Each structure stands twice: as structure tokens, then as C-alpha cells.
A and B are shown apart, each in its own frame.
Chain A
Amino acid sequence: MKKYQNKTLSDTVSTVGSMLLFLMFAACLLMIIAVAAGTYSRISSNFDKTFGSSASLRYISNKLKGCGSAEIVGQGSGIVLRSDGIFDVIYFGDDGLYEKTVTSETDIGLSGGDRIFELKGMTVSDLGELYKITVTYDGGENSTLIRKG
């Protein structure tokens, strides 16, 4: 009680100043955390969009280059890659890219595959001597050209 009575005005100002500084520090910290969370969210979103679509394009391109022959099916929503009697079917359906490998031509169809990428759309078109593969993702699309043969 005696201690409280001995407090001077400068002590009170000093305490209030310290508290204000701490408040400022806490506010800055919260701001930094908010900025950091926003930046991380943007980086993560950009990463998913860019690399998800480009990875799927590269996957299909490499499969296409490595196969013996290819045929577009399902009005461009799928492609059948033939090599050594094995049929690899890559198709779009249900917000994703699916793939299945079959050995019999009768099993070729755009269902029953394993989901390999999450996408909003995929089309393969024939441009004469080139294939054009277009993938659509949240907020954009990406396409590539592949030479036949």
C-alpha cells in the first residue's frame, strides 16, 4: 500500500508508455502474420494452378511422344495411346484427369480409370501434323502443341 502511494507521475507515464509500445508491437505482429498468411496463400494457389496444369500437360505430352500411335476419343475429351498391344486411355471426367491401362480393345472407354490430376477440363485436338492439348484449371487454361510421329 505504501508502495502504491509512493508512485510518481513519471512512473505512471512510463508504465502507460510501455503498455502502448507493447500494444503497438502486438498490432505490428498481427499485421505481419496477416500479410504472411496472405502471401503464403497466394503462393500456394499460384503453385497449384501453374504446376498442376503444366504437370498434366507434360504428362500427356510425354505419354504421347512415347506411344506407337494415338487416337482422339470422346470428341477430344480423351486420347487412346497404343504401344505394343497395350492401350493407355487418358481422359477427362468428373473434375479430374483419369488414366487407365487395358490390354483389350473392347475395354477402351472413358470410365473406370484412376484419377491422376485435378482439372476443370482437358481437350485434345488434331491440327493435321500436330496435336493440341488444352487443360483448363481454376482461373485459366494452358495448352501445348505436340508433333505427331
Chain B
Amino acid sequence: MSALKAFGGGKRRPINLFFAEIIIALLFFSISGAVIIKVFATADMKSQQSARLERVIILAQSIAEAYSDSGNFSRAAELAFGGGLVVGEPAADGGEVTLSIENGSMYLTARESREFTGAGEISSLTLTFTANGEEIYSLDCSAYIRNGGEPDE
């Protein structure tokens, strides 16, 4: 009874108990609302990340396909990104080239190494896509270039 009185309740003012109950219910629903908004925001972000990863994977595969044909990264990148893109060739001794893609929201780093053998040249390329300083996808590919790219005798 004293507890009821502390709420100002009891028989005289029962409406204050209802008021307290409403506040507790609102608090519960507010917390639930905050959690739901956070979940939806996370879902939206994950959806965008997933779409970006999908685009990046297709792009990486396209570059890898073109690179495996020619062993030339700049040509492969120009074919994959379309015309108008001037791409420098990475240095043969493990050099790398970084490209800004998708309006600067992502970076593509290409690291190339070449191994010369008697039968020809094996060229390896590592493509790494980064966004906000974090790696989002990486792909290794290689090309075999017979006679150093020169026509057969």
C-alpha cells in the first residue's frame, strides 16, 4: 500500500499507475524501434556492400579473362573499364599500379610479376579492390606468353 502511495496511487489516484504503465510500454517500444531502425540500416548497408562486391567480382573476372589472353594489364583494364581509361603498366619486377574506380569510391591495385623461362614467359597478376582502406576482394590470375609475345618463327 505504501508503494502505491509513493506512486500517488491507491484508491484516490489510480490514473498515475496507468500513466507509469504507459511510460514503461513506450520505453519498451522506443527501444524496439531503435533496434529495428538499426537492423534496417544494417540491412541497407549490407545490400549495398553485396551489390558492390558483385560488381567488383565481375570486373575482376573480366580483367582476368582479358589478361590471360594478352598478359598485358593496361590492355585488359582498358577493355574491362571501357574506352578512355589510360592505365599504366606495372613494373615487371613486382611493381604495382593503383586505379581509382567508381568515382573514387574504390581503388584497384594491380601487382604484376613475370617469370622468364626457356619456353616463354609466365606473367602473374594480383588484383586487389579496396574501399575506405579495407580490402573487399582480391583475385590472382596469370598468363602464359609464348616467345615473349613475339610471333612463332
B22, A29: Cβ atoms under 8 Å? Answer: no
Closest Cβ neighbor of B66 among chain A residues = A145
Closest B residue, CB atoms, query A50: B51
Q: SS class of chain B's interface: helix, strand, loop or mixed?
A: helix
| Distance between Cα atoms of A73 and B36 in the complex (Å) | 51
Q: Is the interface of A mostly helix, strand, loop or mixed?
A: helix
Which positions 88-130 of chain A face chain B at CB distance < 8 Å? 127, 129-130
Pair B40/A39 contact, Cβ less than 8 Å: yes
Interface string of B45-72 (1 = CB under 8 A from A): 0011011001100100111011011100
Which single residue of chain B is at the shortest CB-CB distance from A42?
B44
Interface string of A42-75 (1 = CB under 8 A from B): 1100110111001001000000000000000000
The residue on B at minimum CB distance from A51 is B54
Q: Are A144 and B69 CB-contacts (below 8 A) given A11-B13, A14-B15, A18-B19?
A: no
A-B contact pairs, 10 of them (CB 8 A): A11-B15, A14-B19, A28-B33, A50-B54, A54-B54, A57-B58, A130-B65, A130-B66, A130-B69, A145-B79
Chain A residues with a Cβ under 8 A of chain B: 10-11, 14-15, 17-18, 21-22, 24-25, 28-29, 32, 35-36, 39-40, 42-43, 46-47, 49-51, 54, 57, 127, 129-130, 132, 142-147
Q: B residues engaging A (CB < 8 A)?
A: 13, 15-16, 18-19, 22-23, 25-26, 29-30, 33, 36-37, 40-41, 43-44, 47-48, 50-51, 54-55, 58, 61-63, 65-66, 68-70, 79-80
